Amino acid sequence: MTDCIFCKIIAGDIPSSKVYEDDKIFAFKDINPKASVHVLVIPKTHIDSLDHLDHGQQDLMGYMTLKLPEIARSQGLNNGFRTIINTGPDGGQEVGHLHFHILGGSKIPGFN
């Protein structure tokens, strides 16, 4: 039994507000949104982080990336969005299952 909360969300053992699912990926609303729209997109297979990818996962990463605009549009983000991947402790990663953040809904501040 995995201790990973995102694997539990995929399995339905922890409830979530799902916005998209197919055989490879799962997308759901962030429980603590940092923008009016804040969605997390995760692979169904457990990958710890970007630091743990291997070359066999190139197709999956390409697939996820291509799905991001589609998922963003499904949430009404028709004028752009921000995508973030946090990696490791210094990158601010809190959940050890690779995830893309999609943020938007209004113009969000820049980084600098």
Check residue 109 and report its DSSP letter: P
- Considering only CA atoms, give the Rg of the chain: 14
Q: Identify the active-site residue in 38, 97, 99, 101.
A: 99
Contact flag: residue 29 with Zn ion (CB under 5 A): no
Write the burial class of residue 83 (CB in 10 Å: 0-12 exposed, 13-18 middle, 19+ buried): middle
User: 100 near 81, Cβ under 8 Å?
Assistant: no
Q: Which of 4, 19, 69, 86 binds ligand AMP (CB under 6 A)?
A: 86
Catalytic annotation on 99? yes
Cβ pair 35, 108 in contact under 8 A: yes
State in angstroms the smallest separation of the CB of 28 from ligand AMP.
6
Binding mask 6-45 for ligand AMP (x = CB under 6 A): --------x-x-----------x-xxx-------x-----
Query: Can you tell me the distance from the alpha carbon of 12 to that of 39, in angstroms, rounded to the nearest whole number?
Result: 17
Among 7, 25, 39, 40, binds Zn ion (CB under 5 A): 7
| Binding residue (CB under 6 A) for ligand AMP from 94, 107, 111, 112 | 94
- The residue type found at 2 is T
Residues found near ligand AMP in the complex (CB under 6 A): 5, 14, 16, 28, 30-32, 40, 86, 92-95
Catalytic residues, by residue number, are 99
